[in-house]
């Protein structure tokens, strides 16, 4: 199938669908200036995730995570939603898009205007105290980290703060996973954008939607582990393709 034919087919499927959901990964945010952690030049090339980004390593030495967090916060605070984020937010306003399930921690869907965003891996810009559980929902903590406060401490009790972003070996938010599964079981179309579908349990969600009768559109630069379940596969940058198919 030619690229134009695939685009046309995707547009027809979207037009005929009434209960659409999106599943997004790192690829949707690359054009916002946030590199895929696993790609060349990504964060894991400079910071061994086993040393800097596991829950166990955080408990032993939280300064390791927050040292990496200086660079991550600088990237995320500067990033702005791109055309793909904005196109999804606009589709939600029409009532056709029921929600966005994201593996990203960058808050860009909300900044673009999406309301129903399910964050499977948490949100880097939110933090909480490990001792008194006081929550921090603004960017001030991360600006303090950028300015050298490593690790950041709680204003209330002096305890260590942890980003809400889910670390390796840390359980996924149970409520978020339940909401994602419910969306997958009740959609008639899932648009998968910018994820290679290698990280579980998120990687199984397209199959769950397919088993429930939904069509699947995959948008990614490279092949994924779920290309075989897709009705349409589109190769390219999310910021180029997503606005085209959602016109």
Q: What's the rounded Cα separation, in Å, for the pair 20 and 14?
A: 8
Summarised one tens digit per residue, pLDDT across range 174-206 is 999 999 999 999 999 999 999 988 888 888 999
Q: Specify the CATH number of the domain 1-33+81-123+172-247.
A: 3.40.50.1220
Mean pLDDT of the chain: 92
Residue 220 has pLDDT above 80, yes or no: yes
Sign of CA dihedral 97, 192, 78, 200: positive
Summarised one tens digit per residue, pLDDT across range 22-76 is 999 999 999 998 987 766 666 777 888 889 999 999 999 999 999 998 888 888 8
Q: What's the rounded Cα separation, in Å, for the pair 243 and 247?
A: 6
pTM of the complete model: 0.92
Kindly list the catalytic residues: 121
Q: Specify the CATH number of the domain 35-78+127-163.
A: 3.30.1600.10
Q: What's the rounded Cα separation, in Å, for the pair 190 and 230?
A: 9
- Where in the chain are the domains? 1-33+81-123+172-247, 35-78+127-163
**Lowest mean pLDDT: which of 16-20, 93-97, 119-123, 134-138?**
134-138
């Amino acid at each position: 199938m030619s690229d134009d034919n695939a685009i046309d087919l995707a547009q027809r499927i979207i037009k005929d669908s009434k209960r659409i959901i999106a599943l997004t990964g790192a690829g949707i945010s690359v054009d916002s200036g946030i590199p895929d952690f696993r790609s060349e030049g990504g964060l894991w090339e400079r910071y061994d995730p086993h040393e800097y980004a596991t829950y166990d390593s955080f408990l032993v030495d939280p300064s390791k995570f927050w040292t990496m967090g200086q660079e991550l916060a600088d990237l995320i605070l500067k990033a702005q939603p791109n055309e793909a984020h904005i196109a999804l937010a606009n589709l939600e306003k029409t009532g056709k898009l029921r929600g966005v399930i994201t593996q990203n921690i960058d808050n860009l869907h909300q900044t673009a205007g999406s309301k129903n965003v399910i964050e499977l891996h948490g949100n880097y810009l939110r933090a909480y105290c490990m001792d008194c559980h006081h929550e921090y929902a603004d960017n001030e903590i991360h600006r303090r980290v950028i300015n050298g406060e490593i690790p950041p401490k709680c204003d209330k009790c002096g305890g260590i703060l942890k980003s809400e972003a889910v670390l390796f070996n840390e359980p996924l938010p149970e409520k978020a996973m339940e909401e994602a599964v419910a969306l997958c079981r009740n959609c008639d179309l899932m648009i998968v954008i910018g994820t290679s579908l290698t990280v579980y349990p998120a990687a199984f969600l397209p199959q769950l939607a397919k088993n429930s009768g939904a069509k699947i559109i995959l948008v990614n630069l490279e092949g994924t582990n779920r290309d075989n379940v897709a009705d349409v596969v589109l190769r390219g940058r999310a910021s180029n393709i997503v606005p085209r198919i959602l016109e």
